[in-house]
């Protein structure tokens, strides 16, 4: 038996085990899912360990590199204490550094990578006018839709009754319109995800059929 044929049999079996979920939750599906989790975690750990060795080992030979690695490696070892409830607090400093840097990266990413580019992409009026009156209409629709969809997330309400009435009047109708735009967007995203996953599913079913045909032909059936 060649490695490719063995792989084909293993891959076909695993695919069939996962696809058995179509008939309902069953032991074969659960077994395949546990294999998937195990293999994914094992692979991820191997990548993390390889990355650590590749970063730490070359730096040990260089005095300056050694110095720059002392802090993260010591903090990393302290982080491992989180696995022992008695000494878990030793890892707080490492978690704090990770959370602080993570928050800053997420904040700058949200600002520079999402808010500013998305707000800019709505575009100025002269850009809309390049497409004639249809372009202007589409541009207006997009600007109004974006603003209304954003207002659909306004959950805070002023405590003062008169201010609350004013707020509801200002945000109520645009917020409801925004929910319509959000539903349109979610419907489109749903259809796109369905199309993508359906093409992968068809590909897997095709592979299973091909695999079964090859296995049966080897057995002379």
Partner 1 sequence: MERLTQRILPASIAIAAGILVLAGYLLPVPFLTAIRDELVRWAVILAAFAWILGFFNLLRVHLGQMRRKGGLYSFVLILSALFTLVLTLLASLNTPLRFVGDWWFQYVLSPLQATVFGLIAIALATAAFHLIRNRREVGALIFLISALIVLIGTIPLPAPVGTWLAPLREWWMSVLATAGIRGFLIGVGLGTLLVGLRVLVGLDRPYSER
Residues between 58 and 77 that touch partner 1 (CB under 8 A): 68-69, 71-73, 75-77
Q: How far apart are CA 74 and CA 144, in angstroms?
A: 52
- Residue 173 in contact with partner 1, rule: CB under 8 A: no
Q: How far apart are CA 138 and CA 127, in angstroms?
A: 11
Residue 26-45 contact track with partner 1, rule CB under 8 A, x = bound: ----xxxxxxxxxxxxxxxx
**Site for partner 1 (CB under 8 A): which residue of 28, 123, 179, 215?**
179
Q: Minimum distance between the CB of residue 159 and partner 1, rounded to whole angstroms?
A: 20
Q: Is the dihedral of CA 87, 91, 96, 102 positive or negative?
A: negative
Q: Minimum distance between the CB of residue 162 and partner 1, rounded to whole angstroms?
A: 27
Nearer to partner 1, 50 or 160 (CB): 50
- Give the number of other Cβ atoms within 10 Å of residue 221's Cβ: 7
Token pair for residue 160?
A: 């003062």
Q: Minimum distance between the CB of residue 12 and partner 1, rounded to whole angstroms?
A: 8
User: Of 112-151, which residues contact partner 1 (CB under 8 A)?
Assistant: 112, 114-115, 118-119, 121-122, 138, 141-150
Q: Minimum distance between the CB of residue 108 and partner 1, rounded to whole angstroms?
A: 4
Nearer to partner 1, 165 or 198 (CB): 198
Count interface residues toward partner 1 (CB under 8 A).
117
Which letter, b or e, does each residue of 109-144 get, where b requires 16 or more Cβ atoms within 10 Å of its Cβ? eeeeeeeeeeeeeeeeeeebeeeeeeeeeebeeeee
- Residue 212 in contact with partner 1, rule: CB under 8 A: no
Q: Can you tell me whether residue 131 is helix, strand or coil? A: coil
Q: In terms of Cα–Cα distance, which of 118, 124, 189, 177 is closest to 151?
A: 177
Nearer to partner 1, 89 or 130 (CB): 89
């Amino acid at each position: 038996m060649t490695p490719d044929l063995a792989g084909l049999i293993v891959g076909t079996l695993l695919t069939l085990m996962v696809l058995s979920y179509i008939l309902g939750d069953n032991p074969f599906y659960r077994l395949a899912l546990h294999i998937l989790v195990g293999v994914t975690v094992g692979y991820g750990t191997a990548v993390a360990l390889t990355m650590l060795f590749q970063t730490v080992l070359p730096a040990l030979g260089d005095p300056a590199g050694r110095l720059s690695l002392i802090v993260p490696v010591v903090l990393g070892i302290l982080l491992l204490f989180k696995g022992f409830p008695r000494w878990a607090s030793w890892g707080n400093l490492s978690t704090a550094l990770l959370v602080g840097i993570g928050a800053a990266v997420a904040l700058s990413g949200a600002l520079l990578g999402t808010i500013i580019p998305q707000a800019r992409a709505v575009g100025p009026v002269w850009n809309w006018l390049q497409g004639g009156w249809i372009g202007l209409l589409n541009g207006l629709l997009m600007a109004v839709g974006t603003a209304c969809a954003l207002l659909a997330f306004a959950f805070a309400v002023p405590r003062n009754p008169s201010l609350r009435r004013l707020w509801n009047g200002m945000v109520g109708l645009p917020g409801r319109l925004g929910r319509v735009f959000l539903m349109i967007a979610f419907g489109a995203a749903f259809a796109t995800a369905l199309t993508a996953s359906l093409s992968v599913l068809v590909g897997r079913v095709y592979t299973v059929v091909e695999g079964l045909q090859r296995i049966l032909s080897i057995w002379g059936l």
